[in-house]
Structure 1
Amino acid sequence: MKTSQNRRKQHRRFPLGKGALMLVMAGTMMMGACTKEKEIQGPPVITPGPSPTQLVSIDLYGTVTDQSNNPVKGATVTIDGHQTTTDQSGVYALPDIRVNAKRAVLNASGAGYFKAFRAFIPREGSQYTMSVKMVKNNPTHTINAQTGGTATLSNGSEVKFPANAVVDEQGNSYSGTVQLAIQYLAPGDAFFGELLPGDLSAERTDGSEAVLKSFGMLNVELTGTSGQSLQIKDGEEAELTVAVPAGLQGEAPSTLPLWYFDEVLGMWKEEGEAQFNGSVYVGKVKHFTWWNCDMAFDPAYIEGRVVDCNGDPVVGVGIYDKLGGSGAWTDGNGNFSTRVIEGRTYELHAELPELGIKSQIEMVGPLSADELYTIPDFKLTVCPAYISGRLTDCDGNVADGMVYVSHSTDPVQVVFTTNGVFKTYVAPNEDYTLTGLTNHNEISDPISVTSGALGGITDMGDFAACPSAYENSFVIDGGIYSNEKIIFPTIFAPTATAWANYNSPILGITAYADDNNGVYYDNMIFGVKATTTGTYTSLSGDLTVNIFLGDLATPQDTVNLRAEDMTMEITDYPAVGGIVQGTFSGTVKDPVSNTQYTISNGKFAAIRQQ
């Protein structure tokens, strides 16, 4: 690789240490691109990587939200064979995992949504956050598989099927109604960078690496009347018509390659071509996934750093280009690195769009193929508001871990600590609730704090994470249990094991334990007609109780218990973000064996999600 004359500078380290502040900013980090400034696309860190067989260890956390910034609960998140699910706040956690050093690809999937993909180049020992935005895949068109047909979008994009060209996943011909869910995406669209699968890195048919310039893309999912997945029959082709944004039609070539997104590699691959016809590209495809109409260029590279008005590195800042392109966000040390198109001039700046804070503009390029350019530091013209503090254990000793930052309208943020210390930027003059979680799963009391003005630091000082402060447990007697205490882990962040949601007229309280492989073998679920503190009983109809105690070694000893005569007292009923607490006791029964059990000394503590 060549390095430009602007030689690499020795980056100053963040005072809190490496990876100290990887902040989840789902839905806010890069969503503020205005109509004149298109968001730079790409992963948080992109530089030419080592051998694809090399692995690195990282911690990965983040949130999964929909286009309206609502959390996607229960989404499956996978990366290089590691898997987890999102909690009630859409937060996922994959600590201490080993991933491909050359290219790590995150995949989020959930019922009712198109799959979402993010790709990045990881660094050994680093902590990353990766926000994922998902789009609902509600079917909007239907065709008859026997006769074929055309599904047309309002912007002129089309999907055209020949007759008898659809099969199920086993390759059997399908002759019924085909339901189509179609997603269109093009530069300039809202959330283009957050919805773009992977990034714009690609592989040509000759195996060479490329960076793409998109003129528009389509994602098509086919399902049958029973919900089964469908595809195009081998030997058949469907015709795609992809609308080109008006601002790009003047530079659209008469013919360009088609590219499909390889979900395994997390990369675009060349296959086929499309012809330009006035305002659309038309081409044929042999299978359905994301299809992209693009020009391919050799890559060049830009790296740099973003600092605030005091010269301190800032995490989670977006890098923008007025003309569009590919790019990144800053990491825990304020650094960024991105692939760009060779031979082009870029007008770049850093921005916190949710706060309206920008840096100076830097002109870069044109760069030659494979050139690496280190840009001067971007400096934010105004410092954001900050909240800082130090996490300790019950004895006042410094404790490392993370801080769960909740706001009434924004996605949850996760802030990492170094030597117990954290510092994160927030919106000015807003109310937040913070909960600390140590690396030993010790939980703090939730603390309310109001941020100061822009440029100010609200220091919370020390706050303790005491495991005894909250507990989900009970003593059970009956059947195979003889006054045995059952304890559920009480974790509120980054993935909650106990949560409460109010959905009028019921307050639902859930606590669970798993086997660390995503198998829930113990849980207790309460439904209470409650909007405040008080005492509630099952006999009055105000309380339902479901307790499941699974025995993986002896399945016949598994019990699923229902309330017979149970009483619950809610002692604390806070606002969203606080911890609902109380006690419960009484008798339950297994409806299968008709065995009665006594529950005593029951305690619950659950973070209120809504």
Structure 2
Amino acid sequence: MKPIVTLITVIGLVAILPGCKKSDHLPLKEPDPVTPDLSTRLSTSVSGYVTDAEGKPVAMAAVNMGNTDAVTDEYGYFSFSQELVPAAAALIKVSRNGFFTGYKTISPRTDGNGFVRIRLTPKALSGTFPATAGGEIVTADGTRIVIPADAVVSAANGTVYDGMVQVNCKNLTTTETPDAADFLPGDGRGTDNSGYLKALRSFGMAAIELTGSSGQALQIAQGKTASICIPIPAAMAGSAPQEIALWSLNETTGLWKQEGTAVRKGDSYCGNTTHFSFWQGAEGIPLVNFKARVVNEHGDPLANVPVSITVAGMPLNAGYGRFGYSDADGNISGSVFANRSLILQVMTPCAVAAYAQPFVTTSTAIDLGQVSGNMGQSLVTLTGTVANCLNQPVEDGYVQTYDHGFYNRIPVVDGRFSFTAMACSNLPVNIVAVDNLTNQQGEPQIINLVAGLNDLGNLTACGTSTMGNITFTIDGVTTTLNEPAMKMAGFYLVPPSESAANINTQIVTLSHNATSNPDISFQFDGNRTIGESHFVTEVFSPKFAGGRGYWPEPIPLAITEYGEIGGFISGSFTGKLIAFDNSAVHDFSCSFRVRRHN
């Protein structure tokens, strides 16, 4: 079966082809070899969304780009502004408990406003073995890992590890929807043994991770090797060569790196490795730079729309496919295969091609200019106005859309917004207006998107705070803590051996360093139930002598809100507390509204 190419918009992305015959190549010379320039830096902005395997938002994920860290909100949204990154390949890294680390590599544009969607792959415990004896793990999907005895060390410091080793392994195969490429690491580019950039035509990929009994990261010891076998997707078995290059993801640059070779054994590629990461068997193919701008029939840019590039005459995602998104101004750019007949497709969030345009690459860069056509019933425009709590136009804010794949953050400027994109029409979508200056938002609303103009009228960004706060009073003296000056969070504590009735929630401030006590911290029981079925028995705060106040009987606590991860936990309680050091009795009250972290 033949391959597909794909690109990553304003965020370079090259495609992965399962297999091409020589007759597919046009009779043109190959492009000059290129080494990636990772030292030159440029300033760029990028925003995006992090989701799980089902496309649901992943809140409170740690995101890194360049020298800046961010955290996803309840919609899975993150953003970086004017970040200095390598001009050839900028890396966005996403970490969240329970998932393999996500790596998305982009080809940044100077002063651009790029957009990405990153889908995290859930970890799957494939097996365990004692480090002193070594072991063989074979996953349900056919991935095979063999590690010799006494070959495992701590990834942090290289010390020998002799406990039980947990192996998390996931075979990364695509489905027939192009957005399945959102979970593939990197951008499909790699450097071969000569250091030249290539577009990778993949014949199988897997994520492999070793951890110890305490969850610590493990690796293969220096001088030792392990063996891996990665299944070849059935669709590519007929064109898979007998021997192929092995590539691992460089988790610092975001580019794949050629490391040795793998030999075909049955329907798998098998080879040796000295470390674990993301691995694939792939062929490196010459590439050229590509760019275009996606607009509607009026020349208005289409922002954040999915775009795929396939090899002409081949099915979408025949094997491992890739695709990307236009930036805020409709631009798409990246690297595609040289000397090919290709098809650019503008997609809807429902993975339906709304428009297609064929083009041919040679050995030099290609610029398609403006790409426009009849987008049919898939093109929607949202317009309206937003007022603040004083019924004045919101000067700095946004309208958030969410659900059914239509996740967008639409800027509000001087009280107005207008946004054109591809959507699955006639589906309900949630919207909420937010005022950045007052940290207020309105009530979420549900609208049914229709093709063409959707005038949302006047929205209100007022009524609910977007920031957390904790207020507590001891003997009439009140302390108020507010975000963003003070960081705070709620943690849903789930002991594995206890019943749901014993599950606690911890509310804590986070701004102090590791050697300092939080301004306030307490736990309450009663699971996530709304109402007064919760109790607290102690509060930790420097305001008490000894840093702790307690009461021998449970103090009732009322919960009025308990959101999903990234949403808010709200409640209050009042009672008496005894200072731990001097046994002084204090009147105490507390109200809180903090974001749920897990």
TM-score (norm 1): 0.76
- 1:117 matched to which residue of 2? 103
What is the deviation of 1:155? 4.4
Taking the aligned partners of 2:88 and 2:376, their CA distance within structure 1 comes to: 35
Q: Match for 1:202 among 190, 212, 230?
A: 190
1:443 aligns with 2:429: no
Secondary structure in 2 matching 1:313:
coil
After the TM superposition, which residues 494-533 of structure 1 pair with which residues of structure 2 at under 5 Å, given as runs?
514-515=510-511, 521-522=518-519, 527=524
2:340 to 337, 344, 359: 344
Give 1:217 shift.
Answer: 1.5
Residue of structure 1 in register with 2:25 after alignment = none
Question: Could you say if the C-alpha distance between residues 319 and 584 of structure 1 is closer, same or farther in structure 2, counting changes exceeding 3 Å?
Answer: same
Distance 2:119 2:581 in 1: 43
Query: Are residue 184 (structure 1) and residue 171 (structure 2) matched?
Result: yes
- Which residue of structure 1 aligns with residue 288 of structure 2? 300
Cα-to-partner distance string for 1:578-606 (whole Å, 9 max, x where unaligned) = 98877654444555664544345x65556
Please point out which of 247, 264, 274 is paired with 1:276.
264
Residue 394 of structure 2 is aligned to residue 402 of structure 1: no
1:391 aligns with 2:366: no
Do 1:490 and 1:497's aligned partners in 2 also have CA atoms closer than 8 Å? no
CA contact (8 A) 2:489 2:597 kept: no
Is the CA contact (8 Å cut-off) linking 2:5 and 2:337 kept in structure 1?
no
TM-fit CA distance, 1:56: 1.0
User: Are 1:135 and 2:124 matched, yes or no?
Assistant: no
Residue 74 to residue 394, structure 1, CA distance change in 2 (3 Å): closer
- Change in CA separation of 1:224 and 1:119 when aligned onto 2, cut-off 3 Å: same
CA offset digits 1:235-291 (Å, max 9, x no partner): 222222222123223332333221111101111111111223443222221211111
> How many angstroms apart in 2 are the aligned matches of 1:183 and 1:573?
33
Q: Which sits farther off after the overlay, 269-278 or 462-471?
A: 462-471
Alignment of 1:286 with 2:282, yes or no, is no
Q: Which range is displaced more, 466-475 or 318-327?
A: 466-475
CA contact (8 A) 1:257 1:295 kept: yes
Alignment-derived partner of residue 417 in structure 1 = 412
CA distance in 2, matches of 1:318, 1:344: 21
SS in 2 for 1:359: strand
CA distance in 2, matches of 1:506, 1:462: 42
**Contact in 2 for aligned 1:44/1:336 (Cα 8 Å):** yes
**Post-superposition CA distance 1:305-354 (Å, at most 9, x none):** 33346653322221222355554211112221121111222122111142
Question: What's the CA shift for 1:61?
Answer: 4.0
- Distance across 2 between alignment mates of 1:512 and 1:477: 17
1:40 maps to 2:35: no
1:317-396 alignment to 2 at 5 Å?
317-320=305-308, 321=310, 322=315, 324=317, 326-354=322-350, 358-374=353-369, 376-395=371-390, 396=392
- Aligned mates of 1:167, 1:146 — CA distance in 2: 11
Q: Which residue of 1 aligns with 2:452?
A: 455
SS at match of 2:355: coil
* Range with bigger deviation, 451-460 or 579-588: 579-588
Q: Name the aligned partner's letter for residue 303 of structure 2.
A: V
Offset at residue 455 of structure 1 (A): 2.8
Residues 60-79 of structure 1: per-residue CA shift (max 9 Å, x gap): 44433321334444432222
**Structure 2 match to 1:313:** 301
Distance 1:516 1:86, change over 3 A: farther
Task: Judge conservation of contact 1:472–1:511 (CA < 8 Å) in 2.
Answer: no
SS across alignment from 2:205: strand
Which among 471, 476, 484 is matched to residue 478 of structure 2?
Answer: 484
Structure 1 SS opposite 2:181: helix
Distance apart, 1:398 and its partner CA: 3.3
Aligned residue number for residue 30 of structure 1:
none
Q: Is the 8 A contact 1:309 1:381 kept in 2?
A: no
Q: Tell me the residue number matched to 1:9.
A: none
Aligned partners of 1:176, 1:532: CA distance in 2, in Å?
40
User: Aligned partners of 1:146, 1:585: CA distance in 2, in Å?
Assistant: 55
> What is the one-letter code of the residue matched to 2:181?
G
Choose the corresponding residue for 1:105, options 91, 111, 115: 91
Match of 2:43 in 1: 56
* Partner residue in 2 for 1:21: none
Report the 3-state secondary structure (helix = DSSP H, G, I; strand = E; otherwise coil) of the residue aligned with 1:382. helix
Q: Secondary structure at the match of 2:377?
A: coil
Q: Which residue of 1 aligns with 2:17?
A: none
What's 2:62 paired with? 76
Structure 1 residues 584 and 175: CA distance shift in structure 2, 3 A? closer
CA contact (8 A) 1:513 1:522 kept: yes
Unmatched tracts of structure 1, length 5 or more: 1-34
Distance 1:526 1:582 in 2: 12
Q: CA deviation at 1:390?
A: 2.7
- Mapped contact 1:181–1:221 kept (Cα < 8 A): yes
Distance 1:55 1:234 in 2: 36
Deviation at 1:192, TM superposition (A): 4.1
Q: Post-superposition shift, 1:116?
A: 0.9
Distance across 1 between alignment mates of 2:570 and 2:197: 56
Structure 2 segments unaligned to the other structure (5+ residues): 14-33, 495-499
Corresponding position of 2:536: 544
- Code of the aligned partner of 2:362: L
Deviates more, 1:106-115 or 1:376-385: 376-385
Supply the RMSD in Å over aligned alpha carbons.
4.5
| Structure 2 match to 1:19 | none
Q: Distance in 2 between matches of 1:576 and 1:167?
A: 34
Q: Give distance in 2, aligned partners of 1:520 and 1:71.
A: 32
Contact kept in structure 2, 1:385 and 1:451, CA below 8 Å: no
Q: Secondary structure at the match of 1:440?
A: coil
Output the TM-score relative to the length of structure 2.
0.77
Decide whether the 8 Å contact of 1:260 with 1:289 is kept in 2. yes
**What is the identity, as a one-letter code, of the residue corresponding to 1:394?**
C
Change (3 A) 1:417 1:149: same
- Residues in 2 aligned to 1:465 and 1:441: alpha-carbon distance in whole angstroms: 9
CA distance in 2, matches of 1:500, 1:222: 27
Look up the SS of the partner of 1:193 in the other structure. helix
Q: Distance in 2 between matches of 1:185 and 1:73?
A: 23
1:544/1:415 CA distance change after superposition, 3 Å: farther
Q: Which whole-Å CA distance do the structure 1 matches of 2:168 and 2:263 have between them?
A: 24
Aligned residues: 558
Deviation at 1:388, TM superposition (A): 3.3
Instruction: String of CA shifts for 1:418-442, please: whole Å, max 9, x gaps.
Output: 3343345565455555443333352
CA 307–204 in structure 1, closer or farther in 2 if over 3 Å, else same: same
2:227 to 239, 243, 246: 239
The CA distance in 2 between the partners of 1:339 and 1:329, in whole Å, is 14
2:488 touches 2:511 (CA, 8 Å); kept in 1? Answer: no
Note if contact 1:562-1:590 (Cα within 8 Å) is conserved in structure 2. no
1:251 pairs, out of 224, 239, 261, with 239
| Greater displacement, 144-153 / 454-463 | 144-153
